[in-house]
Amino acid sequence: MSTRTTTAQGGTDAIVIGAGLGGLASAMRLGAKGWRVTVLDRLDRPGGRGSSIARGGHRFDLGPTIVTVPQGLRDLWAACGRDFDADVTLKPMTPFYEIRWQDGSRFAASQDDGAIEAEIARLSPDDLAGYRKFLQDAETRYWFGYEDLGRRPMNRLWDLIKVLPKFAWLRADRSVYAHAARRVRDERLRFALSFHPLFIGGDPFHVTSMYALVSHLEKAFGVHYAMGGVQAIAEAMANVIRSQGGQVVHGAEVDEIMVANGRASGVKLADGEVLPADIVVSNADAGHTYDRLLRNRPRKRWTPAKLKRARWSMGLYVWYFGTRGTREMWRDVGHHTIVVGPRYREHVKDIFIRGKLSDDMSLYVHRPSVTDPSVAPEGDDTFYVLSPVPHLGHDNGVDWQAEAEPYRQRMIAMLEERLLPGLSERVTESVVFTPETFRDRYLSPFGAGFSIEPRILQSAWFRPHNVSEELPGLYLTGAGTHPGAGLPGVIGTAEVLGQLVPDAAAPAAPLPMAAE
Ligand SMILES: Cc1cc2nc3c(=O)[nH]c(=O)nc-3n(C[C@H](O)[C@H](O)[C@H](O)COP(=O)(O)OP(=O)(O)OC[C@H]3O[C@@H](n4cnc5c(N)ncnc54)[C@H](O)[C@@H]3O)c2cc1C
């Protein structure tokens, strides 16, 4: 930590804890408002869950792979006087993804009306009218849930009370699955229209039907891949922050948020160094922020007991692997494939309610080498396979030290049978992340993949607020705050933050001295 500047009380210095996409976007927003920003992250690169690692000539994108609503990124760049498309190349995906069921049937989702309706008609012609109605529902929920609620602060109870009638009218109490089931009869289509909350940590049988809006997002704005992975977006963000005069410091773990005169006054690092600031923004998980970083202050709302009682999103088991000489071998396997297991409702119940590791699994398979050959040596492939699993907070939690390898073997057996024949002989690189890795790497409470689950009573005003309820001068962004997880969600948390934090005061002279 020798590069940071310490500062006088100019009212211009902001510290952002965490260089996840939410933290970086927040730093950009603050930089655009005149704040001198220092981003601190314990990892060695920007991006948090959206970063990547390299092994044996493969680049593994560790987390987000599907970029939706690119306009959110373009707006963010524009707010900083920059052009997103000059910094990052997005490639539209056609199809978006393919879903494969156990009975051999398939469904390719895409933006093209004719193509997707042909897919619906092939699986269940009687459901075409219901599908069109579902899309209309999705659009209504998009305008309300995404463009209205999702883009403004929800930290006053009044903000919530005002919108309750609309929530009731839209039957926000109904689950996404229940909503899909009212529109289409075919179970496969019910899956295809309702699984999206799993991408942001929600149980489709319990999260609000407001999340049907994801079907509209995909349809209206497409699904994209960032060339270079989401890591490339994170690096471009860090460059914007530097161009604004800010800095992004790695290998810096914050141990505590400091308080002076009843306000956040800076942070203390794990090595004991104290860094002062006029405001502190935490992009660390909201649970970690209140439970760990504010542990020496009484908390009114986000007490340890309340955080423990909260419903946390599921954990993730992710296997990153490289394969040799396979590029031409698995020709019909695209960039994004969902391989559905034998059970839907009961499997989801095992994950979210029973906290039990099922024998069966449903997998999301990422094969970026189809779109971006630079992720693997020539002729080879780079993959990751993700399986939702219980988080670590359930009673009788999974013993991952014992289970990780048998689980991977079951995964290989399923992939060999359903998608990638001959896989086990082709694997060259192999890295596994379990919920324990998420706990230890991202300091994620209970190793949850997406922070607090987006159920209705844990959304909007009910979620940890973007302006802290506990401490003046402290703000929160990222997946655990409003509007929530996923790239559009965390970019949205920064947009909301930008409305809550005032412009920086004119910097006090003289300019700060560099600290050792
Ligand atoms: C496997 C996976 C696949 C996903 N796929 C998609 C997808 O396809 N599309 C999509 O839109 N979303 C996807 N998501 C969700 C999305 O990636 C996340 O919701 C989002 O990236 C979270 O961003 P964040 O800013 O909240 O936090 P994070 O990415 O978790 O970043 C938080 C950062 O804070 C740092 N930190 C924490 N505590 C401290 C501390 N005390 N001191 C210093 N640093 C600290 C951590 O090191 C981390 O870098 C996926 C997530 C995962 C895990």
Domains of the chain, residue spans: 13-90+226-309+452-500, 131-222, 315-442
Report the residue among 255, 283, 432, 497 best suited for mutation to probe ligand 1: largest number of ligand atoms under 8 A from its CB.
283
Q: Whose CA is nearest to atom 48 of ligand 1?
A: 48
How much of the chain exceeds pLDDT 90, in percent?
93
Residue 183: CB atoms within 10 A of its CB come to 20
On the CB side of 238, how many CA atoms lie within 13 Å of its CA?
Answer: 22
- Residue 70 is predicted with a pLDDT of 97
Residue 236 CA to residue 218 CA, distance in Å, equals 24
> Is 226 within 8 Å of 65 (Cβ atoms)?
no
First to last CA, the chain: 7
Kindly give the number of the ligand 1 atom that is closest to the alpha carbon of 441: 47
Question: Which residues of the chain register pLDDT less than 50?
Answer: 1-10, 508-516
Q: Whose CA is nearest to atom 34 of ligand 1?
A: 18
- Residue 516 is predicted with a pLDDT of 26
Q: How do beta strands 427-433 and 247-250 pair?
A: unpaired
Compute the C-alpha angle 31/32/36, nearest 5°. 25
Q: Whose CA is nearest to atom 26 of ligand 1?
A: 478
Please give the class, per CATH, of domain 315-442. Answer: alpha beta
Kindly give the number of the ligand 1 atom that is closest to the alpha carbon of 65: 8
Q: What's the token pair of residue 334?
A: 């695209």
Please give the class, per CATH, of domain 13-90+226-309+452-500. Answer: alpha beta
Residue 263 CA to residue 62 CA, distance in Å, equals 36
- Residue 513 is predicted with a pLDDT of 36
Taking phi over 0 as left and psi of -120 to 50 as alpha, with beta for the rest, 300 belongs to: alpha
Q: What's the token pair of residue 372?
A: 């971006």
Of the candidates 500, 75, 467, the one whose C-alpha atom is nearest the C-alpha of residue 282 is: 467
- Residue 11 is predicted with a pLDDT of 67
- Residue 510 is predicted with a pLDDT of 41
Residue 210 CA to residue 483 CA, distance in Å, equals 12
Q: Whose CA is nearest to atom 38 of ligand 1?
A: 284
- Residue 416 is predicted with a pLDDT of 98
**CB 50 near ligand 1, within 6 Å:** yes
In the block, tokens 């900083």 appear at: 80
Residue 466 CA to residue 480 CA, distance in Å, equals 10
- Decide: residue 54, CB within 10 A, 0-12 exposed, 13-18 middle, 19+ buried: exposed
DSSP state of 44: S
Of the candidates 75, 219, 90, the one whose C-alpha atom is nearest the C-alpha of residue 142 is: 219
Strand order in the sheet with 381-389: 106-109, 97-100, 336-339, 363-366, 381-389, 315-323, 427-433
Q: Tell me whether the CATH fold assigned to 13-90+226-309+452-500 matches the one assigned to 315-442.
A: no
